[in-house]
Amino acid sequence: MTDALSLVDDWGPEKIVVVSHRRTGMKGVLVIDNTARGIGKGGTRMSPTVTVTEVARLARVMTWKWASVDLFYGGAKAGIVADPASPDKEAVLRAFARALSNEVPREYVMGLDMGLTEDDAAVIQDELGDRGAAVGTPEHLGGVAYDKLGVTGYGVAETTDAAAGRLGLPLAGARVAIQGFGAVGSAAARRFAELGATVVAVSTAHGALHDPTGLDVDDLLTAREEHGDDFVTLPVRGTTLASGAELTVDCDILVPAALQDVIDHTNAHEIKARLVVEGANLPTSPDARTILAGRGVTVLPDFVANAGGVVAAAFAMDARYSGFRPDTTAIFETVSTRLRANTLTVLEEAERQDVTPHTAGRALAEDRVRTAMRSKGRIPRH
């Protein structure tokens, strides 16, 4: 309990719920960080290593992410301690949903994160008997399958294009390295190729591929479809590198789109990119960002760069009970418009104040959350 209390600050969390179920072995946590701007909304991840602290950090990112794109939902996140490849996955997921029936969907709406799929969102809806319990369900159930659509990765590429243009670094012809080739990284790579960038490195948990002249993105997408994450072990598509080496290859733009805490004080000096775009949540440490800023490297924050998923989730939230399927074209257009504009706003504000984009973007998001808290009497109005 001491550990949970140490997570509380002026912003939240408002609620931490730890649940378990002996028969299935389910253990999980829900963190509702700040709901001043609306109901808690954030993804649920499944991993054997999930911790309360990890979920709380991600819930806080969601608070800033919703505020950053100026959509009226609150920051929240959930995690289940389990192997997503386990044959007992559905039983664990159902036990988790039942354990949170007091909070879902009244205080928190589940979404998809690492380890969960569209069908898992459907299972949550089925278990709780409420279409409003989760978003990210398959299209044939009226949902917005934003992982399948690649909305988050698309948004990462759109923000990169906007940021690169602001920095005088045209994306067409720019060399891009991507850590992670899952739902976000692969969709980002596809969009980068469409925008004329040269993808020189990609990676999965099994290793990395590098070609300084450029990898064939279509070929990589096909190989991933056929071989899964093992495709990076096939050297015919480029030079095979150890996992993590893709972060320090010679490139113009680096997109860490896998896990948190991958760039810190130990490797920040080795980053060769001029622009780092946080496709994952929390991929850089504060120390790393200080080092990178001192070297003239711009880091675009996660709550700006990968907010495409929350824009799509907002469409899905609106459609939960209506019975109407959201317009996919409208989703992509809104992601591009909102994220590009927000990117430029944050970069311009950072330049005006002579601070990092993280500091500028966080200040903008904090101001919106603070204003909502004050209006609702959660902090003194004076």
65 assigned binding-site residue: yes
Name the residue with tokens 């709380």: 56
Residue of 99, 125, 97, 121 whose CA lies nearest to 111: 121
Which architecture characterizes domain 2-61+74-145 according to CATH?
A: 3-Layer(aba) Sandwich (3.40)
Q: 41 a known binding residue?
A: yes
Per-residue pLDDT of the chain (382 residues; tens, 9 = 90+): 446 788 899 999 999 999 999 999 999 999 999 999 999 999 999 999 999 999 999 999 999 999 999 999 999 999 999 999 999 999 999 999 999 999 999 999 999 999 999 999 999 999 999 999 999 999 888 888 777 889 999 999 999 999 999 999 999 999 999 999 999 999 999 999 999 999 999 999 999 999 999 999 999 999 999 988 888 887 667 899 999 999 999 999 999 999 899 999 999 999 999 999 999 999 999 999 999 999 999 999 999 999 999 999 999 888 887 777 788 999 999 999 999 999 999 999 999 999 999 999 999 999 999 999 999 999 887 6
Local structure of 358: helix, strand or coil:
helix
Contact of 73 with 39, CB cutoff 8 Å:
yes
- Domain boundaries in the chain? 2-61+74-145, 151-305
Set 77, 89, 272, 376: catalytic member:
77
Distance CA(104)–CA(265), nearest Å, equals: 39
Question: DSSP secondary-structure letter at 173?
Answer: T
For residue 300, which of 164, 152, 151 has the smallest C-alpha distance? 164
Q: Which residue carries 């596809």 as its tokens?
A: 190
Position 128, amino acid: L
Question: Is residue 152 part of an annotated ligand binding site?
Answer: yes
Instruction: Give dist(CA 273, CA 10) in Å, integer.
Output: 35
Three-class secondary structure of residue 324 per DSSP: coil
pTM of the model: 0.93
**Which tokens belong to 149?**
């659509």
Q: Calculate the dihedral angle through the C-alpha atoms of 323, 327, 332, 336, rounding to the nearest 10 degrees.
A: -90
Catalytic residue flag (residue 148): no
- Determine the topology of domain 151-305 in CATH: Rossmann fold (3.40.50)
Matching residue, tokens 């418009």: 337
